[in-house]
């Protein structure tokens, strides 16, 4: 059944006149007459008595109007909600992201977004790469901020920037003054490492395997904050993206050095979403805000 025909029928029933409905809907009277005739043909029953004093509903028309008015009101509400989303007057965006993103740029991006669109809300969950991808596939998250996102048919990846892995250690560490180091020089030191579900760790393990390097992890955790704290004290070391330790470098609590074996291995920060679903207007603007902020920030 044609929604336009139902809308024309409802307007005519309430106005009790095709001419009045025509003026209200800004369409010609003949167009309304054709749609009403189409409805009567589909229902196989007259829905109006045409009288000199106007259009009066038949019993069939009364039944139809009682059902259609509820549908029309609900459709009007839906249009209002969609318009609100389009204008970013409402909406919620669920985001899964890695910890360094939270520490580096998520807060200022959220602040910028909230200043412009104060009624849009966010659910932000810190996660590993694997958790973010699973959440996107399950529909728990609309956007994933991910390091080294794995290839998945169901996931669209937008690259934002690339970074390099560096070794990080305390200012008093024996390697703290080195400009460049190799994995072999790290062999004797204990490692603090992230869990294998992290894209960061997955890249480390690939490079370790390629070069036959077996680290001595004495601490494995899902907390990048703990990894950095452990590396800042004594002999332990770790491997992290350079942008993950910029604050610590500025404060002097950590020193870093590039690692030769990782020189050609870029860490790729991506914004991920489901490839078979359109982003909500709020999510789309949030993604654009992240891209703009990060590309400015990385310069």
Interval 119-138 mean pLDDT: 91
Do the domains at 3-86 and 92-299 have one common CATH topology?
no
List residues bridging with 216 in a β-sheet. Answer: 190
Domain boundaries defined on the chain: 3-86, 92-299
CA distance 263 to 87: 45
Alpha-carbon Rg for the chain, nearest whole angstrom, is 31
The CB-based long-range contact list for 25-30 (8 Å cut-off, 24+ gap) reads: none
How large is the average pLDDT for residues 255-264?
A: 94
Query: What pTM value is reported for the model?
Result: 0.66
For range 190-214, the mean pLDDT = 93
Ramachandran class of 234: left when φ > 0, alpha when ψ lies in -120 to 50, beta otherwise: left
The CATH class given to the 92-299 domain equals alpha beta
pLDDT confidence bin for 271, thresholds 50/70/90 = very high
Q: Cα separation of 97 and 128, whole Å?
A: 7
The whole-angstrom separation of Cα 12 and Cα 178 is: 84
DSSP conformation class of 105: I
Q: Which residues contact 292 (CB under 8 A, 6 or more apart)?
A: none
- Reference 186, options 150, 213, 210, 159; nearest CA is 213
Q: Confidence band (pLDDT; 50, 70, 90) for 85? A: low
CATH of 3-86, one of 1.10.4100.10, 1.10.10.10, 3.30.390.30, 1.10.645.10: 1.10.10.10
């Amino acid at each position: 059944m044609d929604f336009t025909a139902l809308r024309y029928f409802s307007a005519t029933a309430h106005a009790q006149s095709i001419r009045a409905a025509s003026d209200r809907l800004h369409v010609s009277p003949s167009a309304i007459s054709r749609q009403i005739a189409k409805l009567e043909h589909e229902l196989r029953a007259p829905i109006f008595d045409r009288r000199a004093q106007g259009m009066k509903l038949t019993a069939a028309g009364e039944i139809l109007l009682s059902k259609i008015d509820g549908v029309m009101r609900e459709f009007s509400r839906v249009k209002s909600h969609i318009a609100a989303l389009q204008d970013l007057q409402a909406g919620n965006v669920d985001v899964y992201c890695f910890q360094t993103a939270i520490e580096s740029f998520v807060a200022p991006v959220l602040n910028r977004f909230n200043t412009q669109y104060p009624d849009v809300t966010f659910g932000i969950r810190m996660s590993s790469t694997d958790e973010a991808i699973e959440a996107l596939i399950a529909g728990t998250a609309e956007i994933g901020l991910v390091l080294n996102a794995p290839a998945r048919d169901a996931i669209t990846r937008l690259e934002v920037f690339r970074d390099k892995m560096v070794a990080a250690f305390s200012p008093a560490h024996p390697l703290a003054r080195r400009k460049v180091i190799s994995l072999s020089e790290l062999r004797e030191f204990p490692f603090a490492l992230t869990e294998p579900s992290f894209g960061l760790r997955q890249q480390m393990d690939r490079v370790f395997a390629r070069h036959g390097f077996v680290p001595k992890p004495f601490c494995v955790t899902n907390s990048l904050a703990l990894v950095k704290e452990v590396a800042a004290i004594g002999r332990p070391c770790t491997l992290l993206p350079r942008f993950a330790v910029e604050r610590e470098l500025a404060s002097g609590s950590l020193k870093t050095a590039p690692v030769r074996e990782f020189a050609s291995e870029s860490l790729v920060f991506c914004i991920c979403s489901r490839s078979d679903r359109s982003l909500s207007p709020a999510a789309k603007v949030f993604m654009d805000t992240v891209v703009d902020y990060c590309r400015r920030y990385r310069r």
